[in-house]
C-alpha cells in the first residue's frame, strides 16, 4: 500500500505562509503591553509579511569612517525648535552607530557644546576639531507638530548633505527628503496625548527616515510608525 502523503499545492503553501506570518504578527502585538516596543514589533510583523524585504543604502560613504552628525533647526524658528533638532541629531547618531559597518560616531555632546558657542556656518571647523572624516549635515527647513490648533500632525522638510573632510570639505552626497508627515494621512486630536510624547514620536520618524539613507533597511517601517500615532 502506498503510504506517501500528497504534496501540498502551491496555493496551500502560500496560504500556510501567510497564516504563519499573521500568527507571528498577532503574537507580537499581544506582547505590546509588556514590552512597550510597539513600533519595533509592528515593523517586525510587516517585515515578516513582506518576506523580509530590505532596500540597500543610498549612500555608503560613512562605512569605516569617523562621523559627526549636525542637525540645524529651521532658521525662522531656530530657538523654538533647538531642542527638537538636537534630539533628531542624537537619534540619527545612535541609529548610524547601530547600523553602519565599522562607523565611529562622534558624541552628540561635543556637538551640543559647540552649538552653544559657535555660529552654524562654522560646522566644518567642528569637523576638523574632532578629526572627523565625514560630516552629516542635516537641515530642518521646517519642523511643526500641529495641523491647525487642535490636531497633531508632524510636518518637517529635511535636507541631508555629507561632506568629506579628507577632501577639504568636499560635498560627496546630498539628498532632499522633501516633506515628512506623521501620521501621513490625517491629524490626531491633541487631547489624546501630551505634546512631549508626540514630539518624541515625530523625532523618531524624522531621524529614522534620515539615518536609513546610510544603511539597508525595511522600507515598511514608516507604516509601522504610523500605526502608533493613534495609540
pLDDT of residue 122: 85
pLDDT of residue 189: 94
Can you read off the three cell numbers belonging to residue 187? Answer: 491629524
Can you read off the three cell numbers belonging to residue 59? Answer: 549612500
Can you read off the three cell numbers belonging to residue 214? Answer: 546610510
pLDDT of residue 39: 47
Residue spans per domain, the chain: 1-56+218-231, 57-215
pLDDT of residue 185: 84
- Locate all alpha helices (DSSP H) within 53-177, ordered by sequence: 82-99, 108-115, 123-129
* DSSP letters spanning 186-202: --EEGGGS-HHHHHHHH
pLDDT of residue 95: 97
CATH architecture of 57-215: 3-Layer(aba) Sandwich (3.40)
Degrees, nearest 5: CA angle 62-58-227 = 105
Per-residue pLDDT of the chain (231 residues; tens, 9 = 90+): 444 444 444 444 443 444 444 443 443 444 344 334 444 455 445 444 444 578 999 999 999 999 999 999 988 765 666 689 999 999 999 999 999 999 999 999 998 888 777 777 789 999 999 999 999 999 999 999 999 889 999 999 999 999 999 999 999 999 999 899 999 888 899 999 999 999 999 999 999 999 999 999 988 776 666 666 666
Contacts within 8 Å (CB) and 24+ apart, 127-133: 127/68, 127/163, 127/165, 127/169, 128/165, 130/66, 130/68, 130/106, 131/66, 132/66, 132/67, 132/68, 132/106, 132/165, 133/65, 133/66, 133/67, 133/164, 133/165, 133/166
In angstroms, rounded to a whole number, what is the distance separating the alpha carbons of residues 150 and 148?
A: 6
Q: Is 155 exposed, middle or buried (0-12, 13-18, 19+ CB in 10 A)?
A: middle
Amino acid at each position: 500500500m502506498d503510504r506517501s502523503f500528497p504534496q501540498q499545492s502551491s496555493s496551500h503553501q502560500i496560504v500556510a505562509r501567510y497564516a504563519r506570518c499573521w500568527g507571528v504578527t498577532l503574537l507580537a502585538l499581544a506582547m505590546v503591553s509588556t514590552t512597550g516596543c510597539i513600533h519595533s514589533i509592528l515593523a517586525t510583523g510587516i517585515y515578516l509579511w513582506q518576506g523580509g524585504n530590505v532596500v540597500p543604502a543610498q549612500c555608503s560613504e560613512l562605512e569605516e569612517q569617523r562621523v559627526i552628525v549636525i542637525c540645524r533647526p529651521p532658521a525662522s524658528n531656530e530657538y523654538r525648535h533647538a531642542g527638537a533638532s538636537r534630539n533628531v541629531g542624537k537619534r540619527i547618531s545612535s541609529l548610524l552607530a547601530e547600523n553602519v559597518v565599522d562607523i565611529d560616531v562622534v558624541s552628540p555632546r561635543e556637538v551640543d557644546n559647540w552649538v552653544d558657542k559657535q555660529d552654524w556656518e562654522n560646522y566644518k571647523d567642528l569637523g576638523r576639531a574632532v578629526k572627523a572624516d565625514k560630516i552629516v549635515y542635516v537641515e530642518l527647513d521646517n519642523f511643526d507638530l500641529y495641523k491647525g490648533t487642535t490636531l497633531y500632525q508632524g510636518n518637517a522638510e529635511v535636507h541631508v548633505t555629507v561632506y568629506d573632510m579628507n577632501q577639504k570639505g568636499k560635498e560627496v552626497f546630498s539628498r532632499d527628503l522633501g516633506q515628512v508627515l506623521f501620521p501621513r494621512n490625517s491629524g490626531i486630536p491633541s487631547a489624546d496625548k501630551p505634546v512631549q510624547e508626540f514630539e518624541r514620536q515625530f523625532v523618531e520618524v524624522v531621524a529614522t527616515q534620515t539615518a536609513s539613507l546610510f544603511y539597508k533597511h525595511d522600507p515598511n517601517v514608516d507604516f509601522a510608525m504610523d500605526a502608533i500615532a493613534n495609540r
